[in-house]
Amino acid sequence: MKRVVVGLSGGVDSSVAAYLLKEQGYDVIGMFMKNWHDDSVTISNECPWLDDSNDAMIVAQHLGIPFQAIDLSNEYKERIVDYMFAEYKAGRTPNPDILCNREIKFDIFLNAAVKLGADFVATGHYARREEIEIDKKKAYRLLAGKDPNKDQSYFLCQLTQTQLSKALFPVGELLKPEVRAIAKKAGLATAEKKDSQGLCFIGKVHLPDFLQQRLETKKGKVIEVSASSSVFQNGWAQDDLIHIAQPYSLDPKSGEVVGDHNGAHYYTIGQRRGLNLGGFEKPLFVIGTDTEKNIIYTGMGEDHPGLYRKGLFIPLADEHWVREDLKLQNGEIRNTQARIRYRQPLEGCTLHQKENGLYIIFDKPQRGITPGQFAAWYDGEELIGSGVIAN
């Protein structure tokens, strides 16, 4: 009998994952990950880890499976939280959920599961894994979840073939209403529980409070740049990948000072909330940040050209191919689809592999291309690679 350790988060998805695996005849163990001790920055009652742990334990008892909690807070701080602070300080916007899957769930947690004799680890992700054969060797495809509204393959975009070989996603073939129906029929305590939001296994965090633990407030200027500014009139040739993938060259002379902020590292491209500036014809959006000069650049309205770009660049060191056999070689081009954030519809694009990294040029301009975030590219419903956006 194959043994599976399920990451029970205290939510309905992982609860049903455990239930389904037990029904399929696996030897199932439930394990709750505690990744955070500091409740001062969490928004109360949104996702307290203690309640989640209790819910996970209740589900395990109901299913008659062994249960234990594992404290990974030190590892989480080192690999996720410290990384987040460093990225924000540098004016980049990290994605901790993707890092949590790569560094915690499918690394440290996976290793802990293996020590318990596990053949697999399972989570409640809405994604699918398919085993195939390439040159008489096993390979694994990471596929989108069946529920288009819940597909979470993007969050798994940094997994390796080794990690996928040990991963199971039991709810990936189901729609969310089906998962809730199964939970209700099975009498699981989490059947009606709301989905949690926020940082992976921490809960909903008030980000400014979180960042202010280490990143001091620092008054700076907010500059509004007109949509008609020559900065946005680039006219680059189609094959000028470097310029197409570069952010707009904004400087204090690009616009007018319209207010103050408390620190450029608290803001991200595309952000609207938190500027606290009124009296404009249309809402202001962040179109650029400069953490060295502590300046925020803004533009008026959803359709401001500063919010949109056609290209991005991923350095070679930050490229990751889930399917190594599909990796592009220097000089190769591939037409495919990509997304730059969770739940964004897949957008047509062309991958250009160069010696220094990967250029992604989209068929249509994309809103809010943000350094530090992950771009993930797909072949149909299969996620084949991803990388950290440099610019």
Active site positions, annotated: 100, 200
Q: In sequence order, which residues have a C-beta less than 8 Å from that of residue 136 and are 6 or more positions away? A: none
Half-sphere exposure of 263 (CA within 13 A, CB side): 16
Q: Residue 170 and residue 17: Cα distance in Å, rounded?
A: 5
